[in-house]
Amino acid sequence: MFRKDFNEDDYLEANPDVAVAVNKGIFCSGQAHYLKYGKNEGRRLKGLAGKTSREEKVFSLLNKNGLGLEIGPSHNPIAPKKKGYNVHILDHASAEELRDKYQGHNINLDNIEEVDFVWCGESFQELIGKTNCYDWIIASHVIEHVPDLISYLQQCEALLKSEGILSLVLPDKRYCFDYFSSSSSTGAFLDAYAENRVKPTSGQIFDHIANAAKRNGDIAWSFDGLGGANELAHTFEAARINYIHSVSHDDYIDVHCWKFTPASFRLLISDLLGLDLIGLEIKAEFVTNGCEFYVSLGKKTDMTESLERLDALKMRKLENA
């Protein structure tokens, strides 16, 4: 049943991407979008920007009293042990190595947590030695770096309890240095999975460096109607050098392998569910605030509904316009 307090103007003002979609005829009204997607996505009914904190969005469905895992927090954990969270930390380096890495980078080294599991390329199940053991997992600005995202999601799924939640914070490519890149397609993720990739491809490295951009000197910004990126972050020569190096060397060059918008990520999860490659569905979403958006994934149920793919493609196209 539709809620009586719904106001069309308030909803469109709070969700400008929906307003654009309505103007383009993708949806007949904001009410139609809310009924089909907005309610389940956790869309705001009124303009409440800034009133829901980042931490509240990340923890919206999480059992804070349960056992958690934060993956790749580096120097900026969302659920630090010092705040009382019952959490394990998984990272690519030890705390001592992370402190050495960020020495002299104007980083508060005291924020770096002691690392429980140092990942060296093995599966999470092998590293931790258990499955079905975590009430929640947090990964903030991590999955865009992961060469084989499907395997990553499968491993997180294996670690979660039946009611567990994987809480993701993702950069929206429209408001960061990924601005000039298109959102990644499902087929690209399938290729990476089939190839069992363990590092970015040379092409991904070239694209990342050659196309990375800034807006007025900033590598990330908020939606404000003032336009997008207006300068490149690197020279073509830097992209060329890194590309040539990646072809002839095996060392790992960290880049954004994948680019997302909320609609493209929603479509990806629906596709992977339909292909029986993952058993995780979207349980909640928070739309982009600043340069990032928030998605909570949990294990699918018998009530899981498939996405209307044509509508999803239209929204992805709109967000890539």
Task: Kindly tell me if the per-residue pLDDT of 200 is higher than 80.
Answer: yes
Judge whether 227 lies within some domain: no
Q: Are residues 8 and 87 in the same domain?
A: no
Closest alpha carbon to 136 in 78, 74, 218 = 78
Contacts of residue 321, defined as CB under 8 A and 6 or more positions apart, other chains included, come to: none
Are residues 90 and 33 located together in one domain of the fold?
no
Which tens digits make up the pLDDT trace of 123-160?
A: 999 999 999 999 999 999 999 999 999 999 999 999 99
For residue 92, give every residue at least 6 positions away whose Cβ sits within 8 Å of its Cβ, in sequence order, or none: 72, 118, 119
Say yes or no: 106 and 5 in one domain: no
Domain that holds residue 8: 1-51
The one-letter amino acid code at 202 reads S
Predicted confidence at residue 50, as pLDDT, reads: 47
Say whether 320 sits in a helix, a strand or coil. Answer: coil
pTM: 0.86
Number of domains in the chain: 2
Domain boundary among 10, 25, 51: 51
Q: Indicate if 299 and 153 belong to the same structural domain.
A: yes
- CATH for 134: 3.40.50.150
Quick check: is 89 in a domain?
A: yes
Distance CA 200, CA 197 (A): 7
Pairing label, strands 231-232, 213-214: antiparallel
Same domain, 164 and 65: yes
* Residue 158 shares a structural domain with residue 22: no
**86: in domain:** yes
Q: What is the pLDDT of residues 268-316, one digit of tens each?
A: 999 999 999 999 999 988 889 899 999 999 999 887 777 888 988 988 9
The answer on 145 and 281 residing in a single domain is yes
Residue whose entry in the numeric block shows the structure tokens 């904190």: 53
On whether residue 127 sits in a domain, the answer given is yes
Q: Bigger pLDDT: 93 or 223?
A: 93
The pLDDT value given to residue 48:
52
Long-range residue pairs from 89-97, CB within 8 A, at least 24 positions apart, any chain: 89/113, 89/114, 89/115, 89/116, 89/117, 90/115, 90/116, 90/117, 90/118, 90/119, 90/124, 90/127, 90/128, 91/115, 91/117, 91/118, 91/119, 92/118, 92/119, 93/118, 94/118
* Domain final residue pick, 15, 31, 51: 51
Are residues 156 and 74 part of one domain?
yes
